[in-house]
Amino acid sequence: MSTILERPAEQTLPRHSPVLQPAHRLFPVGLCVLALAGIAVLASRPAGTGMLFTGASVVLIAVVELTRRLRGQLAMAQALELQRRDLVSQGRTTAEELEVATRMMRARAQTMTSVIDAVTEQSIIGTDRDGLIRVWNPGAERMLGLPRADVVRARSITDFHAPEELDARADPESDGHAAARFAALVQVARDQGSDVRDWTYLTADGRRLTVAVAITLRTDDDGEQAGWNFVGTDMTEARAAERLKDQFVSLISHELRTPLSSILGYLELVMDDEEQPLTADQRQYLGTVERNAQRLLRLVGDLLFTAQVDAGRFTLQPADVDLVAVVRAAEDTARVTADARGVSVRVAAPDGELVVRGDALRLGQACDNLVSNAVKFTPAGGSVTLRLRDGWQDDAGTVTELPRAGTRRVALVSVSDTGMGIPTGEQGKLFTSFFRASTARRHAVPGVGLGLTITKAITTAHGGSLDVVSAEGAGTTFTITLPAG
């Protein structure tokens, strides 16, 4: 027995044994062997008490150690079982969360598809990064005349664009290559993030449509580029109407302005003829003709000016302009009409000069428009006030009387009246051509709705702004803010 206890572990197995177990696995085996050896000693009934005590001690030690190890292994097994249950529970939870996320993704995709499919007046076309169409909504089917099945994954977005437009923007050496045309189509959107402009779409039946197309980059959930979105609105009829409007304005320019100028010229000759003086009635009648001819001439001028603004041909003749003189001239111009309507006109302006850089004629026109409107929309007994002051404006548009860091000097011309006011819901449309507020129509105030459009264009061209504060029945204040030197 002592020989067995003292023999090294590696000698308990044959030197060439094919199975060499790790020490932590051989130790319990060694304990079992010791226990069996002890039992063998006890079974042999040795004569000496020493051998009997030694055998019993060996058996007891082996049993205690094996019991301890078994308990440890049992505890480890129980811990592993708890871990297994936790892992199973976590796996189930993860599976449930994954299923919920999958359902949400499917619901979101279905919602997006439903929204896209619900749009029938605009074409929504989605492509991959190379222009191959992946999304084709009912609006695209309706606009371009092809069903989704014939287009998705089969056609490129450039197939529906006028090739000459794309070739004009593409690399001259590309020789009409499809990739070069697509690159030209998305170039601005690639550089700036989005692009909105008119393109010519080609329909299945050969028609050419003028379409306002918004091009945006489409990304995946990781923020990587996945393709492009093309949202188109058919502007064919609108652009045709704009061309007709331009033709109409041109017609007015040639067919009305010249004869009106001639009429006014001859009226002046007749009324100033000292050799054949007019009677009082004749002078009154001809005065009415002159006023109406002047009104028509101003209307023609407004139409032509509006056309110039829309066409981008509006230019200024910049010079130093004293706004005090401009405001007082506007008061003088409106004085006769205001007195006839029983409306008082007051001016609050500095005693000296307030000079800005601009076009004196156009700035005078802007002030005249505001004062004329104020007088027209103010009933008898009301008042119109012109105020001119300087101030300091920050980047947020806030104006203060004293300079502060980050502010710039500005001049403010405000025209206030005590008239009928403008409904809040209509104030956003005031600067649209030919728009007239409901209060103007209800009270039959004359006008065609171009004065504010022109005033806004003049103010913007000078780098300024035009703001309005109004309440129905409580009057209106328009304020022109201009950069001051």
Q: With bands split at pLDDT 50, 70 and 90, how would you rate the model's confidence at 414?
A: very high
Do residues 470 and 327 both lie within one domain?
A: yes
Do residues 278 and 200 both lie within one domain?
A: no
Do residues 22 and 146 both lie within one domain?
A: no
pLDDT tens, residue by residue, 232-245:
999 999 888 878 87
For residue 2, what are the domain limits?
Answer: 1-118
Residue 132 three-state SS: strand
The residue from 118, 136, 169 where one domain ends is 118
Q: Identify which of 350, 309, 311 has the alpha carbon closest to the alpha carbon of residue 460.
A: 309
Q: What is the spatial distance between Cα 179 and Cα 181, in angstroms, rounded to a whole number? A: 5
Do residues 359 and 388 both lie within one domain?
A: yes
Do residues 345 and 400 both lie within one domain?
A: yes
Q: What is the spatial distance between Cα 123 and Cα 135, in angstroms, rounded to a whole number? A: 10
> How many structural domains comprise the chain?
4
Q: With bands split at pLDDT 50, 70 and 90, how would you rate the model's confidence at 348?
A: very high
CATH number, domain with residue 335: 3.30.565.10
Q: What is the spatial distance between Cα 23 and Cα 21, in angstroms, rounded to a whole number? A: 7
For residue 161, pLDDT over 80 is answered with yes
CA 231 to each of CA 190, 191, 194: distance values in angstroms, whole numbers, following the listed order: 16, 18, 11
Residue 133, phi-psi category: left (phi > 0), alpha (psi -120 to 50), beta (remainder): beta
Q: What is the spatial distance between Cα 230 and Cα 216, in angstroms, rounded to a whole number? A: 7
Q: Do the Cβ atoms of 421 and 454 come closer than 8 Å? A: no
Do residues 355 and 426 both lie within one domain?
A: yes
Q: With bands split at pLDDT 50, 70 and 90, how would you rate the model's confidence at 58?
A: low
pLDDT tens, residue by residue, 66-97:
788 788 888 888 888 888 888 888 888 888 88
Lowest mean pLDDT among 101-115, 180-194, 311-325, 356-370: 101-115
Do residues 377 and 467 both lie within one domain?
A: yes
Do residues 109 and 135 both lie within one domain?
A: no
Q: pTM for the whole thing?
A: 0.53
CA 284 to each of CA 3, 242, 280, 290, 422: distance values in angstroms, whole numbers, following the listed order: 149, 41, 6, 10, 36
Using CB atoms within 10 A of its CB, is residue 304 exposed (0-12), middle (13-18) or buried (19+)?
A: middle
The residue from 66, 95, 118 where one domain ends is 118
What local confidence, expressed as pLDDT, does residue 424 receive?
Answer: 86
Do residues 397 and 417 both lie within one domain?
A: yes
What local confidence, expressed as pLDDT, does residue 464 receive?
Answer: 92
The residue from 118, 140, 168 where one domain ends is 118
Do residues 82 and 196 both lie within one domain?
A: no
Do residues 426 and 324 both lie within one domain?
A: yes
Percent of the chain residues topping a pLDDT of 90: 35
Do residues 458 and 392 both lie within one domain?
A: yes
* Amino acid, res. 401: E
For residue 139, pLDDT over 80 is answered with yes
64 against 9, higher pLDDT? 64
What local confidence, expressed as pLDDT, does residue 60 receive?
Answer: 73
